[in-house]
Structure 1
Amino acid sequence: MTVLPLASLLLSGLLLTAAAPAPAEPQSVTVTVTSLVSTTAAVRLYFYNTREGFLKSGKWAFSKSVKPAGKSEFTLPVELPRGEWAVAITQDLNNNDKIDKNFLGIPTEPYAFSNNVRPTVAAPGFDECKFMVDGPGKVVSIVLKD
């Protein structure tokens, strides 16, 4: 008598497992950055996938650092889960591992955002900079601002 309820429990557990959606596979995305100010200074890319954390220190999903190796542009392949993403980029000209700013808080080192958003008065929002990852082969082209 206890075999039937146990078999029923195991079978329903298997059905629930089969019905659960598989985790989204990361998609290949290529980030191309052009117009680097320096061909030797490190470029830092910050990848965000939430509005709340956008441009907040330490709130990025992940970051990458790239040395330009004597070139004024580079291509960086990354794997991103499907969804909305935004990228902020800085180039650390004096290699002090931070983005230098003037007394008003405006960056004095080159920076850029996905969608080539050029803020005039305030930092851009996530919605201005976001792009959709919905399949492989996405290319995000960003021009660094001097």
Structure 2
Amino acid sequence: MSVLSSVSLLVGTCLLGAAAPAPRVSDNQPVTVVVTSLVSTTSTVKLFFYNTREGFLKSGKWVFSKSVKPGGKSEFTLPVELPKGEWAVAITQDLNNNGKIDKNFIGIPTEPYAFSNNFRPKVAAPVFDDCKFTVDGPGKVVSIVLKN
């Protein structure tokens, strides 16, 4: 290959690289979820993250979920990355490790559960606005107390 061909190839490659768009910077922000007062120090805790009113608390409508084994502790910290916007978290602890939240005959959970903003429903399930928090920058901490 001649020197001129090599230079042309090198210049062409540089120009193509300059024309390529820069990689998109993620809009995700670091959020720390702190869960305390676990009923069991061994049973799995499931966290469900929602970002729409319509899908809140509907099976399979969460954006993502995480399972955490407490490892003998009554609290844990879970770092997550969330896009900016409004979010809500629902938490359950599967005391008998059967992979689901057990309920009584009228549909009320018999295993521990909690929601962001530590919202405690009295008569009906909460709505998104009861539990929502805003992610608008780094450093957001969401503290949730899990009660039976």
What TM-score range do you get, normalising by the shorter chain?
0.7 to 0.9
Q: Is the 8 A contact 1:41 1:68 kept in 2?
A: yes
The letter of the residue matching 2:95 is: L
Counterpart of 1:140 in structure 2 is: 142
TM-score by length of 2: 0.83
Q: Deviations over 1:41-93 (max 9, x none)?
A: 00000000000000000000000000000000000000000000000000000
> What percent of counterpart residues are identical?
81
Q: Is the 8 A contact 1:88 1:112 kept in 2?
A: yes
Query: If you compute each CA radius of gyration, which structure gives the higher value, 1 or 2?
Result: 2
Counterpart of 1:108 in structure 2 is: 110
The letter of the residue matching 2:77 is: T
Q: Is the 8 A contact 1:43 1:91 kept in 2?
A: yes
Structure 1 stretches lacking a partner, 5+ long? 1-13
Counterpart of 1:33 in structure 2 is: 35
The letter of the residue matching 1:30 is: T
Q: Is the 8 A contact 1:24 1:82 kept in 2?
A: no
Q: Deviations over 1:89-131 (max 9, x none)?
A: 0000000000000001000000000000000100000001000
The structural deviation recorded for 1:24 is: 5.1
Counterpart of 2:121 in structure 1 is: 119
Counterpart of 2:54 in structure 1 is: 52
* Residues paired across the two proteins, number: 128
1:65/1:80 Cα in 2 relative to 1: closer, same or farther (>3 Å)? same
Aligned partners of 2:46 and 2:26: how far apart in 1?
A: 26
Counterpart of 2:90 in structure 1 is: 88
TM-score by length of 1: 0.84
The letter of the residue matching 1:76 is: L
Aligned partners of 1:118 and 1:79: how far apart in 2?
A: 26
